[in-house]
Structure 1
């Protein structure tokens, strides 16, 4: 049965770092994968290495990188909101939830990928994931899609426990790496180190690539009070 998958992330590259494998697996299996990218990543820390972008050109560059990454993953339905990077935390939470809810009503996803609220590290990550929870909470509990949250805070395992979803993405590793490379302005430093290590130690390829072959998520659990 074909499933409708919705990925909801604030920045170009959020869909690739740590999630491209799972999304590529869905696409490979024939699921419909949609992506909401809320901002154009104007405030990204990296401008390429060596620099090939500036604050004025970066948004357009990152949107093009995003579309190339989505092509590698197999995402052909991309919703660009073009909000300003690093401002989502200042948006009215209900207004932001309204916008997410409209997308959910339209797409009717079976499964949502986002960050786990309060454990996304970046304020934009947490603001949009919290808006996603608010939006899904408006649905009757029997009609709510499952939510897989990524968590990166230092205390995420202490508070949330171990991730309950572990996905082996080895069969789409090529697609995942291609998606990461597409975000040239942001990923070049990281991947250059990987490429150098692979070139110097080809016998360690399995070891060096191992961190890219698994992805981990926490299923969002509704508390009795909020259900």
Structure 2
């Protein structure tokens, strides 16, 4: 039986920024990785070619871009909750929580990945999806979930936590770059972070993750080999 994993993020392209290579590795190992996105990214920055689009049209475009990225990453499913981009912190918390819970209970994952509490860069939407996903998992409403992982951030490291495991993107850079290119409406921001995608960015080499919760225990110590084995990674 496959070891289903869910990634819970705020916007289309978060998955490619943070975990493209991990998602593809899981898929190639026989998993059925799925992605939950709280928004359609309709408030995202637009490059010149898309500057004329309305929010509605940008949202539709970003859904299509996400579909192309999902094909590259071999995601088994992508679902949008459709909450307002840029305003997740203002959403009705119960509706938000129930949307996340419902998705997790349909997919029945053993592991869930999301942003750390600081959102990685203190983006309010990132922080909101982290808080709600964490509440869904640790609150006992999603009984299949055994582990909750956060993407690594400087505040998490400053709090004394080290990555549980990392994925070296260099051998798979072509895959990550292709997934990032799929989000063409966001290419200016993508290249601001990674540089021109035909060049491998050594300073952005690793996708790193820390286990934040496991079956009732917060911040458990776990070796990289054990974590990778439990996730079904070769």
- TM class by shorter chain equals 0.7 to 0.9
Q: What is aligned with 1:13?
A: 13
Over 3 Å counting, the alpha-carbon distance change for 1:96 and 1:142 in structure 2 is: closer
Over 3 Å counting, the alpha-carbon distance change for 1:111 and 1:42 in structure 2 is: same
TM-score (norm 2): 0.80
* CA deviations over 1:33-91 (Å, ceiling 9, x no partner): 1111111111112x124545533321111111111111111113111222210121012
Please give the alpha-carbon distance, in whole angstroms, between the structure 1 residues aligned to 2:52 and 2:103: 32
> Equivalent of 2:209, from 187, 206, 217?
217
The residue matched to 1:11 in structure 2 has which SS? coil
Q: What is aligned with 1:111?
A: 111
- Residue 132 of structure 1 and its aligned partner are, at CA, apart by 0.9
Please give the alpha-carbon distance, in whole angstroms, between the structure 2 residues aligned to 1:70 and 1:53: 26
Deviates more, 1:134-143 or 1:168-177: 134-143
- Residue 195 of structure 1 and its aligned partner are, at CA, apart by 3.6
Over 3 Å counting, the alpha-carbon distance change for 1:51 and 1:80 in structure 2 is: closer
Q: Does the 8 A contact of 1:25 with 1:169 survive in 2?
A: no
Q: What is aligned with 1:122?
A: 123
Deviates more, 1:140-149 or 1:63-72: 140-149
Q: What is aligned with 1:27?
A: 27
Q: Does the 8 A contact of 1:119 with 1:156 survive in 2?
A: no
Q: Which runs of 5+ in 2 are unaligned?
A: 219-234
Q: What is aligned with 2:53?
A: 54
Q: Does the 8 A contact of 1:35 with 1:78 survive in 2?
A: yes
Over 3 Å counting, the alpha-carbon distance change for 1:220 and 1:160 in structure 2 is: same
Q: Which runs of 5+ in 1 are unaligned?
A: 199-204
User: Where does 1:102-181 land on structure 2 (aligned, <5 Å)?
Assistant: 102-120=102-120, 121-139=122-140, 143-152=144-153, 154-181=154-181
Q: Does the 8 A contact of 2:65 with 2:182 survive in 1?
A: yes
Q: Does the 8 A contact of 2:7 with 2:113 survive in 1?
A: yes
Over 3 Å counting, the alpha-carbon distance change for 1:155 and 1:213 in structure 2 is: closer
Find the structure with the greater CA-based Rg: 1
Q: What is aligned with 1:202?
A: none
Over 3 Å counting, the alpha-carbon distance change for 1:84 and 1:111 in structure 2 is: same
Q: Does the 8 A contact of 2:119 with 2:130 survive in 1?
A: no
Please give the alpha-carbon distance, in whole angstroms, between the structure 2 residues aligned to 1:117 and 1:28: 29
